[in-house]
Amino acid sequence: MANLAAVVGVGQTKHKSKHKDVSMAGLVRQAAERALADAGCEWKDIDALVLGKAPDMFEGVMMPELYLTDALGGNGKPVIRVHTAGSVGGSTAILAANYVQSGVYNRVLTVTFEKQSESNATWALSPRMPFVPHVNAGAGGFFAPYMRQYKEKYGAPDYIGCMVAVKDRLNACRNPYAHLQIPNIDLAMVQQSPMLWEPVRFLESCPSSDGACALVIANEQLALRAPNKPAWILGSSTRSDGTMYAGKDNVHPQSLIACARDVYAKSGITNPRKQIDVAELYIPFSWYEPMYLETLGFCGEGEGWKMVESGATAMTGDMPINASGGVLSSNPIGASGMLRFGEAALQVRGMAGEHQVDGARLAIGHAFGGAHSYYAMWAVSADKP
Amino acid sequence: MRDAAIIGYAQGPQYRYAGAANESELIMPVVRRVMEQVGVGQQDIDFTCSGSCDYLQGAAFAFVEGLSALATVPPIKESHVEMDAAWAVYEALIKIWTGEADLCLVYGFGKSSPGELRTVMALQLDPYYHVPLWPDAISLAALQARAMLDSGAISERDMAEVVARSRANARANPNAQLKGNPGIEELLAEPGFVSPLRRHDCPPITDGASAMIVASADVAARYCKRPAWVRGIDHRMETGILGARDLTRSPSTRIAGEKAGVARGKVDLAELHAPFSHQEIILRRELGLADAVPVNLSGGALAGNTMMAAGLDRIGFVAERIINGKADRGVAHATSGPCLQQNLVAVLEA
């Protein structure tokens, strides 16, 4: 069976609308240097580089690993580039973990980024293609009907989405890297913000961010010698399915159910709400929190909005979700999934600073991409399996 | 680490222009063919990995469209590299080595005909300093060919010989796009294109797809009488700054070849992903292949260059000849980036 692997270094940049201070190369290098510092190692200690990001059109650089190799110490080394839509940050981290678990490499650096200010994501997401009707809706317009479906099917009150937005933004105020810092945010402020795509208001939507995330993943022997506590990778998985097919459930996607089951089985998780101390979930629009709470088995069908309403998912609740502020507070798309995976690692290492959940020992990171068609997840633990 | 082997490979027809056929329609027939060849269905596959590039399609998420060529309900374990699918083979091997998969489907596809490929490829360069100059892919390869000629390592006749052999070999490959039996003098008499390259020194624009099945030692024998075992595989990157490289050399190919163990035995054949004629000579030298080793019996990338599948095709052709009993040991190579910036080498054995 596979060798053990652990996260021994986590690095990220400050996430913001426009990183005019650095080039793309400077951005990824900043995150990578921070991850190396955390791991107590240098460029020469890295065996291979696993790079991921969302569509190349978001920056206008084709296969950017070719250009970024110089900034990431990739020259003379194996470099690979993953792209699995929005879930890429997660699937990139998983491939990096697999590199070590396979025994081929001892210590790898994995980096993801997006510098959205270099281009226009909504333009890149809505190309005019031959023989296909042009929607030009961007991501929000595409996902809004499914959130309406959830809200209507389970009779969730309108303010549930707003509650998620307030919670994540207040959490973000404890995370110095988070893009949106709105310390005076409250329910009324979110409710008064403009409606973008019914039921999603402006403040219930993720921002467009420039940012990068990097992880150093090492084998058992190196992890035990690392200067800071390792986050042991218990299990990881991905699932993909078609964009549209008859009977596809877009509220509780079959692909996410299968992905979560696989990760839970590999990690010995039988009661997610009881066993998992904190979860970092890819929630780009507020209503995805109650939807994913149900799909991931934290509560029963139709109970997700009640769980949000009860405050269970706040920092002070029994099942804190997105203590970092999540995608609603920072969204460098290609890195958003890896930030979830990395924040989960920080929590079980006890290194999450002001947004640390006390005593967190088991955490999950989750990433979502495509039209509910790409999922990646992992579970990390403070305890060596 | 347990052994892994390639047990099936299918290449689709290589077209100059696939017309209205979309990417899924190019992929579907080759995936079906490779599955029939091996005798498996999507439900038997543990992990699927593809290679493609959005900039060929001119739209984000080309691979999402590609996925609709497969049966994905129930959902599948899947990944994608925005690279040549030779690196998707590498990801599949990693999955097998972790013990998480036994049977993997890999496919690569590209439809380059709708865009201006050589110009689009300029977007692979440094976006701040190089792209504004729009150095196209053929001009960059021409710089490399010029450096080779100036160094005295090759002559234009050597380049023409590569082309003549490639076209002649391609006659045996029913999917090849360019084939024939041109004479060296005939080729040398053709006008220059981007000096010192003539048109035939450059790869054609190709639409197509290819698919492969990779298996662990635990299951390979169940599906294939003579699997092509992956005895070594490695890939290496070089700087993205062209001016910092000696373009007449390919140190990344040399390292990858050494790590993969090319020299550890007799090489019956090699498939080298050399989109430009002079590059085959560079690669051959860096891999230390003897003059007697037949290179690119398939015709190589000069006879058909499906972007994001041409490297996979090199691995596939070597595997196919081993599976069919025509060779015992072969070397396959894939490249990415301008002027052979990144290279992968695999050694396959019966």
* Residue B2 buriedness (CB in 10 A; 0-12 / 13-18 / 19+): exposed
**Inter-chain residue contact B94 with A103, CB threshold 8 Å:** no
Residue carrying the six token digits 């699932």: A239
The answer for residues whose C-beta is within 8 angstroms of residue A28's C-beta and 6 or more apart is: A68, A71, A72, A111, A113, A212, A214
For every residue of A62-76, DSSP letters joined together read SSTHHHHTTTTT-BT
**B4-116+205-228 and B135-201+230-349 share one fold:** yes
Structure token digits, residue B198: 């003539």
How far is residue B92 from each of residues A80, B78, B88, measured CA to CA in Å?
13, 10, 6
Does ipTM top 0.90?
yes
Helix (H, G, I), strand (E, B) or coil at A278: strand
Residue A246 identity = A
Helix (H, G, I), strand (E, B) or coil at A168: helix
How far does B70 lie from chain A, in Å, by closest CA? 9
How far does A100 lie from chain B, in Å, by closest CA? 9
Minimal Cβ distance to B78: which of A2, A102, A240: A240
Which pLDDT value is given to residue A295?
98
pLDDT at B66 over 90: no
**Inter-chain residue contact B95 with A98, CB threshold 8 Å:** yes
Which pLDDT value is given to residue A244?
87
pLDDT at A353 over 80: yes
**Going by DSSP bridges, is the β-strand pair A195-197/A200-201 parallel, antiparallel, or unpaired?**
antiparallel
Q: If pLDDT is split at 50, 70 and 90, which confidence band does B301 have?
A: very high
- B contact test, residue of A77, A116, A240 with most B CBs within 10 A: A240
Over residues A362-376, the pLDDT tens digits come to 999 999 998 899 999
Which pLDDT value is given to residue A119?
84
**Inter-chain residue contact B240 with A255, CB threshold 8 Å:** no
The beta strand positions in A134-230, using DSSP E, are: 195-197, 200-201, 210-219
Which pLDDT value is given to residue A135?
65
Of all residues in chain B, the one with the smallest CA distance to A67 is B240
**Inter-chain residue contact B59 with A127, CB threshold 8 Å:** yes
CA distance A69 to B240: 7
Minimal Cβ distance to A83: which of B63, B125, B341: B63
- B contact test, residue of A59, A79, A245, A377 with most B CBs within 10 A: A79
Q: If pLDDT is split at 50, 70 and 90, which confidence band does A110 have?
A: very high
The mean pLDDT value of chain B amounts to 97
Least Cα distance to B22 among B77, B78, B64 occurs for B64
Give B74's contacts in chain A (Cβ within 8 Å): 241, 254, 258
Give B131's contacts in chain A (Cβ within 8 Å): 61
Q: In chain A, what are the domain boundaries?
A: 5-121+208-225
Which pLDDT value is given to residue B64?
87
Residue carrying the six token digits 């003549």: B164
Under a CB-based contact definition with an 8 Å cutoff, are residues A200 and A140 in contact?
Answer: yes
For every residue of A306-362, DSSP letters joined together read HHHHTTTTSTTSSS-B-TT-HHHH---HHHHHHHHHHHHHHHHHT--GGGPPTT--E
Task: Calculate what percentage of chain B has a pLDDT beyond 70.
Answer: 100
Least confident of A50-64, A121-135, A229-243, B86-100: A121-135
Least confident of A7-21, A131-145, A198-212, B156-170: A131-145
**Inter-chain residue contact B60 with A131, CB threshold 8 Å:** no
Minimal Cβ distance to B239: which of A75, A99, A243: A75
CA distance A140 to A269: 33
Residue carrying the six token digits 């091997």: B93
- Region B4-116+205-228: CATH code: 3.40.47.10
Give A78's contacts in chain B (Cβ within 8 Å): 234-237
Which pLDDT value is given to residue A124?
79
Conformational region of residue A136, where left means phi above 0, alpha means psi within -120 to 50, and beta covers everything else: left
Query: Cis omega (within 30 of 0) on the bond before A199?
Result: yes
Over residues A22-60, the pLDDT tens digits come to 999 999 999 999 999 999 999 999 999 999 999 999 999
Which pLDDT value is given to residue A380?
98
Which pLDDT value is given to residue A126?
72
Which pLDDT value is given to residue A200?
97
Mean pLDDT (whole number) for B94-117: 96
Minimal Cβ distance to A95: which of B59, B79, B239: B79
Interface size between A and B, measured as CB pairs under 8 A: 182
Under a CB-based contact definition with an 8 Å cutoff, are residues B74 and B33 in contact?
Answer: no
* Residue A76 buriedness (CB in 10 A; 0-12 / 13-18 / 19+): middle
Helix (H, G, I), strand (E, B) or coil at B194: strand
Task: Calculate what percentage of chain A has a pLDDT beyond 90.
Answer: 92
Please give the model's pTM, rounded to 2 decimal places: 0.98
Give B135's contacts in chain A (Cβ within 8 Å): none
Give B95's contacts in chain A (Cβ within 8 Å): 98
Mean pLDDT (whole number) for B273-286: 98
Chain centroid to Cα B340, Å, comes to 12
Over residues B15-46, the pLDDT tens digits come to 999 998 989 999 999 999 999 999 999 999 99
Which pLDDT value is given to residue A138?
74
Structure token digits, residue B61: 């998420």
Which pLDDT value is given to residue B201?
98
- B contact test, residue of A75, A105, A217, A236 with most B CBs within 10 A: A75
**Inter-chain residue contact B79 with A254, CB threshold 8 Å:** no
Angle formed by the axes of helices A333-349 and A88-101, nearest 10°: 50
Least confident of A47-61, A128-142, A313-327, B176-190: A128-142
Structure token digits, residue A83: 């792209």
Residue carrying the six token digits 């402020």: A189
Q: If pLDDT is split at 50, 70 and 90, which confidence band does A21 have?
A: very high
Which pLDDT value is given to residue A1?
56
Minimal Cβ distance to A75: which of B120, B124, B237: B237
Chain centroid to Cα A187, Å, comes to 25
Q: In chain B, what are the domain boundaries?
A: 4-116+205-228, 135-201+230-349
pLDDT at B283 over 60: yes
The answer for residues whose C-beta is within 8 angstroms of residue B40's C-beta and 6 or more apart is: B103, B213, B223
- A contact test, residue of B1, B47, B79, B252 with most A CBs within 10 A: B79
CA distance A166 to A148: 20
CA distance A42 to A48: 13
**Inter-chain residue contact A70 with B239, CB threshold 8 Å:** yes
Q: If pLDDT is split at 50, 70 and 90, which confidence band does A122 have?
A: confident
Range B261-279 burial, b when 16+ CB lie within 10 A, else e:
bbeeeebbbbbbbbbbbbb
The CATH architecture of the domain made up of A5-121+208-225 is 3-Layer(aba) Sandwich (3.40)
**Inter-chain residue contact B60 with A95, CB threshold 8 Å:** no
Which pLDDT value is given to residue A69?
98
Give B125's contacts in chain A (Cβ within 8 Å): 66-67
How far does A49 lie from chain B, in Å, by closest CA? 10
CA distance A254 to B100: 21
Which pLDDT value is given to residue B173?
97
Give B230's contacts in chain A (Cβ within 8 Å): none
Half-sphere exposure of A267 (CA within 13 A, CB side): 30
Under a CB-based contact definition with an 8 Å cutoff, are residues B271 and B228 in contact?
Answer: no
Which pLDDT value is given to residue A136?
65
Angle at A244 between CA A284 and CA A305, to 5 degrees: 40
Helix (H, G, I), strand (E, B) or coil at B334: strand
Mean pLDDT (whole number) for A256-284: 98
**Inter-chain residue contact B127 with A118, CB threshold 8 Å:** yes
Half-sphere exposure of A319 (CA within 13 A, CB side): 24
How far does A63 lie from chain B, in Å, by closest CA? 6
Task: Calculate what percentage of chain A has a pLDDT beyond 70.
Answer: 97
Of all residues in chain B, the one with the smallest CA distance to A89 is B79
Over residues B302-332, the pLDDT tens digits come to 999 999 999 999 999 999 999 999 999 999 9
Determine how many CB atoms are found less than 10 A away from the CB of residue A151. 21
pLDDT at A186 over 90: yes
**Inter-chain residue contact B337 with A66, CB threshold 8 Å:** yes
**Inter-chain residue contact A84 with B126, CB threshold 8 Å:** no
Structure token digits, residue A222: 């190196």
Helix (H, G, I), strand (E, B) or coil at B238: coil
Superfamily of domain B135-201+230-349: Thiolase/Chalcone synthase (3.40.47.10)
- A contact test, residue of B22, B98, B249, B250 with most A CBs within 10 A: B98
Under a CB-based contact definition with an 8 Å cutoff, are residues A90 and A365 in contact?
Answer: yes
Q: If pLDDT is split at 50, 70 and 90, which confidence band does B59 have?
A: confident
